[in-house]
Structure 1
Amino acid sequence: MIDLAFLRETFATLVSGVPLTLQLAALSSLLGAIFALLLVWAQVALPSTLGRVARFYIFAFRGTPLLVQLFLIYYGLSQFRPTLSALGLWGLLRDPYWCAVLALMFNTAAYCAEIFRGGLQAVPAGQVEAARAAGFSGFLLFRRIVFPIALRQALPGYGNELVLMVKATSLASTVTLMEITGLAAKAISQSYRAIEVFLVAGALYLVLNVVLVQALGLLERRLMRHLAR
């Protein structure tokens, strides 16, 4: 028999973790996208040594579990506390919130770098040559021709990465953050009703991602409206 009163109580408890979940996802995605652009730039425009470093970074962070990366930052950096204190970084890195943000940022940057690089490589060379023949060059060429086309090509893959990022915030509960999953684990320890609690938690993640997917769909249709015509 479904206990509706317990489900309502659980929902009221877990929904209070939604702001932290969204905050982690938004900040990590924003910082990760900026870092990803730097990685793409290093691969495309900088000397070969820095390009190899960027490629190794992408290989390492895509090839290892996010949970391991989070633990390395949260637990591993404490071994270097004297050095970090001397640099003025320990006050930041001892905070589980910023450790989670850094882990999520570094991880998503590796995936986004490949998505963005694929979007750039998908820009037809003929359109670039035609734009140059019409007098476009430098930043104007990138802003008017390369960037819009690359954005349209990268958006579906980047949208998937954003959805994965929302779900990946659940790992922040392993470093004591009380987002949706952290609150769910606490509720289970008090009630011993794992099925109901995790059903509510899963429903909250599902709603968040449905809203995100719809927003990305609107953006994609807006960018593709000329093709629809």
Structure 2
Amino acid sequence: MNLELMVSSFPLLLEGAVVTLELFALTMVLATLLAIPLAIARVQPAWWLRWPVEAFCQVFRGTPMLVQLFVVYYGLAQLDAVRESWAWQYLRTPYWCAVVAFTLNTAAYTTHVLRGAIEAVPRGEVEAGRAFGFSTRALYQNIILPRAVLLALPSYGNEVIKTIKRTSLASAITISDLTGVANTLVSRTFSPYEVFLTAAGIYLVFAYAANYVLRALEFRLSRHMHAVH
């Protein structure tokens, strides 16, 4: 094992890691903002609200992430409506195509997680809110969503870890993220073992940090359950 190569490649890999973190952060923020209204629509009795959301989730959960990335990157450019719209200034670049693809995919999984959490909120708590005269909006703001967030955190945490690893696919469309930089270094040094082992270590640190933050958040939100009576 060439330790000197691992040490010398580390600064360059960190530059790629910054891009990875940017992709990850944008994806999680946008996907979560999209998933919340989709999850609420998914649990509504009206079929015209539920079915489109279910179709969206089935498509993005049932097809490979890499295929979705290629469809967005290569496919949207074929549409005149996209090329003539304001979005083209963003979608003409690999970076924003990756953000769109990752966001839609992650939103589909997060919607599924939140839908299950919303349905798991005890009916008694919801009925108590209605008894106090809460509107549907007030019920979601004050009872259903706060409770659902706590219930969803373990599964949501798994999705966060998956998204960190999923960003490695961005290198397939020429983005110099952590994996993209690692591929470049391997083509120069012909030492895949040392380079990819170093990159894997950085991904592991990211995953561990995300897991730690989520566990701390879960403990904080449920601290009333840990109180000593």
1:164-175 paired onto structure 2 within 5 Å = 164-175=162-173
Unaligned runs of 5+ in 2: none
- SS of 1:56's partner is helix
Distance 2:37 2:134 in 1: 24
Q: Which deviations, in whole Å up to 9, do the C-alpha atoms of 1:16-51 show, x marking residues without a partner?
A: 112111110110111111111232233234842242
Q: Give TM-score, length-normalised by structure 1.
A: 0.93
Structure 2 partner of 1:19: 18
Q: Which amino acid is 1:212 matched to?
A: A
| Matches of 1:12 and 1:100, distance apart in 2 | 24
Equivalent residue letter for 1:22: L
CA drift at 1:139: 3.4
C-alpha separation in 2, matches of 1:73 and 1:139: 35
Deviation at 1:77, TM superposition (A): 1.7
Q: Tell me the number of residue pairs that the alignment of Structure 1 and Structure 2 aligns.
A: 227
Partner of 1:194: 192
CA distance in 1, matches of 2:25, 2:63: 22
Taking structure 1 as reference, are residues 46 and 36 closer, same or farther at Cα in structure 2, changes over 3 Å only? Answer: farther
Q: Which runs of 5+ in 1 are unaligned?
A: none
Query: Secondary structure at the residue paired with 2:210?
Result: helix
Provide the residue aligned with 2:109 in structure 1.
Answer: 111
Tell me, yes or no, if the aligned pair for 2:20 and 2:167 is still in contact at 8 Å. Answer: yes
Aligned-partner residue type, residue 38 of structure 1? P
- Give the match's secondary structure for 1:115: helix
1:155 corresponds to which residue?
Answer: 153
Contact 2:77 2:83 in 1 (8 A): no
Q: Does 1:133 align with 2:135?
A: no
TM-superposed deviation, 1:149: 1.2
Residues 135, 78 of structure 1: alpha-carbon distance in 2 compared, 3 angstrom cutoff: closer
Give aligned-pair identity as a percent: 42
Q: State the Cα deviation string for residues 32-74 of structure 1 (Å, max 9, x = none).
A: 1111123223323484224211111100110000000000011
Farther-moved stretch of structure 1 (132-141 vs 52-61): 132-141
SS of the equivalent of 1:109 reads helix
State the match for 1:44 in structure 2. Answer: 43
Give the conservation status (yes or no) of the 8 Å contact 2:43–2:119: no
What RMSD in Å do the two structures reach over aligned CA positions? 1.5
Q: Which amino acid aligns with 1:17?
A: G
Match of 1:211 in 2: 209
Q: Could you tell me how far apart the structure 2 residues matched to 1:195 and 1:149 are?
A: 46
2-side partners of 1:206 and 1:30: how far apart? Answer: 21
1:60 corresponds to which residue? 59
Distance 1:85 1:157 in 2: 38
d(CA) in 2 for partners of 1:51, 1:130? 26
1:100-154 deviations in Å (ceiling 9; x for gaps): 0000001001000010111101100012222333454443333332222111101
Q: What is the DSSP-based 3-state SS (H/G/I as helix, E as strand, rest coil) of the residue aligned with 1:87?
A: coil
